[in-house]
A = this chain, B = another copy of it.
Amino acid sequence: MAIRYPNGKKYQPNDLLTSTTQKKTVSYGKRGMSLEQDLNDTNAYYLTHELAVIHKKPTPVQIVGVDYPKRSSAKIKEAYFKTPSTTDYNGVYQGKYIDFEAKETKNTSSFPLSNFHQHQLTHMEGVLKQNGIVFVIIAFQTLGEVYFIRFEHFQPFGNECSMAGENQ
């Protein structure tokens, strides 16, 4: 017997939800958020169970103006997003350094490498030279598929991308 939760929405049995049309309308909008949420949940699990300590870095921001209405709550009134100089995630697993970047695309057959900033690629190269564990996680939102690629395997394509960029 199916339980109908009182969320105000009309009940949809599961077999309807798995049809292609329903899938499109139901789940795609949220997939953009869910990779980051999935990674945050995973890292929280690792942290709680003492398996690894991995954190997402804060968004880099250039702070220009700050108001101090009360001493306890400074309000930033002017700031700008800065280009990140590293990947978004790093941490430690059994003494080893872990570093990765997570990206999403709505493409279905390819991932545009221009989504990586040149200094992110440079950063990952640097980590690899220091024998860190470095990889990318690429989520194809439309396909609902997520790929794990070690930077060693990803790097040759990254180089092509940066060379193409230089020739433009």
Contact = CB atoms under 8 A, between A and B. Distances in A.
Nearest to A131: B95
A130 B47 CA distance: 10
A77 B77 contact: yes
Interface string A57-79: 11111010000000001111111
A8 B117 CA distance: 43
Contact of A81 (B50, B76, B78): B76
Contacts of A129: 50
Interface size range of chain A in the complex: 35 or more
A114 to B, nearest CB: 16
**Copies of chain A in the complex:** 2
A94 interface: yes
Given A53-B123, A58-B59, A78 B80 contact: no
Contacts of A55: 85-86
A15 B126 CA distance: 44
Contact of A78 (B57, B58, B76, B126): B76
Contacts of A73: 80
Contact of A59 (B63, B96, B98): B63
Interface in A40-54: 47, 50, 52-53
A64 to B, nearest CB: 9
Given A57-B57, A77-B78, A94-B130, 5 more contacts: A73-B80, A75-B78, A75-B80, A90-B91, A95-B96
